[in-house]
Amino acid sequence: MKLKEIYQLAVEMGMEADPRGKQAVERDLRLTRKSYEKLEAEDKAFFDTESLTNPYSDTRILWGDPEKEVKRILVGIDIEAGELLLADRLREKGKEIDLVLAHHPEGRAFAALHQVMHIQSDLLYQWGVPVNIAESIMAGRIKEVMRNIMPYNHQRPVDVARLLEIPLMCCHTPSDNLVTSWLQKYLDEKQPETIADLLKELKTIPEYAEAARQGAGPTIFVGDESRRCGRIFVDMTGGTGGSEDAYDEWAKAGVGTLVGMHISEKHRERAEKARVNVVIAGHIASDSLGMNLFLDRLEAAGIEIIPCSGLIRVKR
C-alpha cells in the first residue's frame, strides 16, 4: 500500500466506527467546509486543508511522501526520537522500515488534539443530555487542554523523522473510535451483571489479559466488585479526558458504570460523588486494542507489522 492509502484507510475506518454515527461525522465535515469557504485568501494559507476530508485533527501524515510504497511498519503507542532512532538502527541492520506509525499524536496533530474533543459533547447529547448543557460542559475543558498543549515542542519527533528520512504518521481518534465501538458492542453482548463480572469479561480480551500480567490490567477506580453495573458506557474517544462536570450528567442519563482508558484523581472524585462506577480497563492496553483492529487490515494487505513502544500486538 502507498502511505496515502494507509492514511485514508485510517480515516475511513475511524469514520465507520465513530460512536456518534455517520450523520454527526458528515455534519463536522460540512461545517468545516463552510468555515473554509468564508475565509479570506490570506487566512486560507494557514488553514489545515486535510480537515476538509478528515474530521480527526489528531491523525495525520506528519512527514514523508504520500506516494511511498509501504511494506514494513514500525508501530508504537508513543513515537519519539528514541523509536525513530530504533527504526534507523533497524535499517542499518538490514531491516528496511518504510514507515513509523504512532498512536498518540505528534507535530501538528498534537497541537490540534483539542479540536476532536467536541466528540464528547455529541456523546453526551446522544445519551439525552441537552445539547446546550453538553457543549457548555466541554467548552471550558477544551480550552484548558488547548492551553496546556500550546507550550509543548510539538515538532521534535517530526524533525527527527525528517532528518533521518523516515516517513512518520499518527493514528489517534480513528483508533480510539475502533476500540470504543468494538468494546461497547462486546460488553453489550456479554451483559456483565456485577463489577466482578465486568472485570472477568475484560480479562478474556487478550490485550487486557496481557496488561493484567504486566500489572496494568483492568482496575476498579469507583465502586467495588459486588456492585451491579447497570448501563455500561465505554468512554475511550474524544482526544483526552473530558470535563469532570460530565459525571453528574452521565448519572442523570442513566449510566451506571463507565469503562475508560484512564482517569485523573479530580475526575475520579467527581465520579464518586455522582455515584457512577468507574472501571479503568487500562490506557496502553486499550490503545493497543484499537490499533490492532486497524493493523489487522494492513497485515491483510501484505504489510509487515513490527510492534514497539508498548503496543500489545494481537491479531484477530
pLDDT of residue 31: 96
Q: What is the pTM of this model?
A: 0.96
Domains along the chain with CATH numbers: 3-173+286-308 (3.40.1390.30), 179-282 (3.40.1390.30)
Which residue's C-alpha cell is 480479562? 203
pLDDT of residue 201: 98
CA-CA distance, 259 to 235, in Å (whole number)?
6
pLDDT of residue 259: 98
pLDDT of residue 254: 95
Residues 241-286 pLDDT 10s: 999 999 999 999 999 999 999 999 999 999 999 999 999 999 999 9
Under-50 pLDDT residues of the chain: none
Give the mean pLDDT of the chain: 97
* CB contact set of 304 (below 8 Å; sequence gap of 6+): 71, 72, 73
Residues 129-164 pLDDT 10s: 999 999 999 999 999 999 999 999 999 999 999 999
